[in-house]
Chain A
Amino acid sequence: MLSFLPLSPALSPVILATSLLFFVVYGAFRSRASYGSVAFLALFALLIVMDAAGLQFALNFGTDRLPSLVFDGLSSAATVVLCGMMLAFFVLTLGLAWPLEAALLVLFALLGMLLMVSADSLMMFYMGLEMQSLALYVFIALQGRQQPAAIEAALKYFILGALASGLMLLGMSFLYGQWGVLGYGPLQALLVQHAAVSPALLWTTLGAGLILVGFLFKLSLVPFHMWTPDVYQAAPTPVVAFLSSLPKVAATVALVRLLAGPFYPLMPDLGDMLRIIGALSMLWGALAGLQQTSLRRLMAYSTIAQMGFVVMALSVATPEGMGSALVYVVVYAVTSLGLFALLMRVSDNDLSFNDVAGLVKASPVTAYLLAVFLLSLAGMPFFAGFFTKLSVFQSVLAGQHYAVVFAAALSSVVAMYYYLRVIKVMIFDDPATDQGVVMANHGASLPLGVAAALFVSVFFIIPGPEMTAFAQKMMADLLPQATASAPVMTLPFEKE
Chain B
Amino acid sequence: MMDVFLQPVGIVHYFLLSTLLFVIGAMGIFLNRRHVLSMLMALELILLAVNINFVAFSVAHGNVEGQIFSFFILTVAAAEAAIGLAILVIFFRRYQTVDVAAMDTLKG
Q: Are A154 and B87 in contact (CB under 8 A)?
A: yes
The answer to the question of B16 belonging to the interface, with a C-beta cut-off of 8 Å to chain A, is no
Interface string of B56-84 (1 = CB under 8 A from A): 01101101011011001100100110011
Tell me the nearest residue of chain B to A234, going by C-beta.
B106
The answer to the question of A173 belonging to the interface, with a C-beta cut-off of 8 Å to chain B, is yes
Q: Are B76 and A159 in contact (CB under 8 A)?
A: no
What is the bound-complex CA distance between A384 and B76, given in angstroms?
A: 39
In the bound complex, residues from chain A placing their C-beta under 8 Å from that of B54 are 173, 176
Interface string of A2-14 (1 = CB under 8 A from B): 0000000000000
Q: Are A230 and B106 in contact (CB under 8 A)?
A: yes
Given known A-B contacts A134-B80, A166-B46, A182-B65, A144 and B108 have beta carbons under 8 A apart: no
What is the bound-complex CA distance between A155 and B76, given in angstroms?
A: 17
Shortest distance from the beta carbon of B77 to any chain A beta carbon, whole Å? 9
In the bound complex, residues from chain A placing their C-beta under 8 Å from that of B80 are 130, 134, 162
The B contact surface, by secondary structure, is: helix
Q: Are B94 and A151 in contact (CB under 8 A)?
A: yes
Tell me the nearest residue of chain B to A183, going by C-beta.
B65
In the bound complex, residues from chain A placing their C-beta under 8 Å from that of B69 are 122-123, 126, 172, 176, 182
Please report which residues of chain A, range 174-195, place their CB below 8 angstroms from some CB of chain B when the two chains form the complex: 174, 176-177, 180-182
Tell me the nearest residue of chain B to A182, going by C-beta.
B65
In the bound complex, residues from chain B placing their C-beta under 8 Å from that of A176 are 53-54, 57-58, 61, 65-66, 69
What is the bound-complex CA distance between A170 and B48, given in angstroms?
A: 10
Chain B contact patch, size range: 35 or more
In the bound complex, residues from chain B placing their C-beta under 8 Å from that of A297 are 108
The answer to the question of A419 belonging to the interface, with a C-beta cut-off of 8 Å to chain B, is no
What is the bound-complex CA distance between A101 and B73, given in angstroms?
A: 25
The answer to the question of A292 belonging to the interface, with a C-beta cut-off of 8 Å to chain B, is yes
In the bound complex, residues from chain B placing their C-beta under 8 Å from that of A182 are 65-66, 69
Q: Are B90 and A141 in contact (CB under 8 A)?
A: yes
Q: Are A180 and B61 in contact (CB under 8 A)?
A: yes
Tell me the nearest residue of chain B to A233, going by C-beta.
B106
In the bound complex, residues from chain B placing their C-beta under 8 Å from that of A19 are none
Q: Are A126 and B65 in contact (CB under 8 A)?
A: no
Q: Are B84 and A162 in contact (CB under 8 A)?
A: yes
The answer to the question of A163 belonging to the interface, with a C-beta cut-off of 8 Å to chain B, is yes
The answer to the question of B50 belonging to the interface, with a C-beta cut-off of 8 Å to chain A, is yes
What is the bound-complex CA distance between A169 and B53, given in angstroms?
A: 10
Please report which residues of chain A, range 142-176, place their CB below 8 angstroms from some CB of chain B when the two chains form the complex: 144, 148-149, 151-156, 158-159, 162-163, 166, 169-170, 172-174, 176
Q: Are A162 and B65 in contact (CB under 8 A)?
A: no
Given known A-B contacts A169-B47, A180-B61, A148 and B106 have beta carbons under 8 A apart: no
Shortest distance from the beta carbon of A494 to any chain B beta carbon, whole Å? 33
Interface string of B24-59 (1 = CB under 8 A from A): 011001000000100110010011011001100110
Tell me the nearest residue of chain A to B29, going by C-beta.
A163
In the bound complex, residues from chain B placing their C-beta under 8 Å from that of A137 are 83, 87
What is the bound-complex CA distance between A153 and B86, given in angstroms?
A: 14
Interface residues, chain A, CB within 8 Å of chain B? 122-123, 126-127, 130, 134, 137-138, 141, 144, 148-149, 151-156, 158-159, 162-163, 166, 169-170, 172-174, 176-177, 180-182, 229-230, 233-234, 292-294, 297
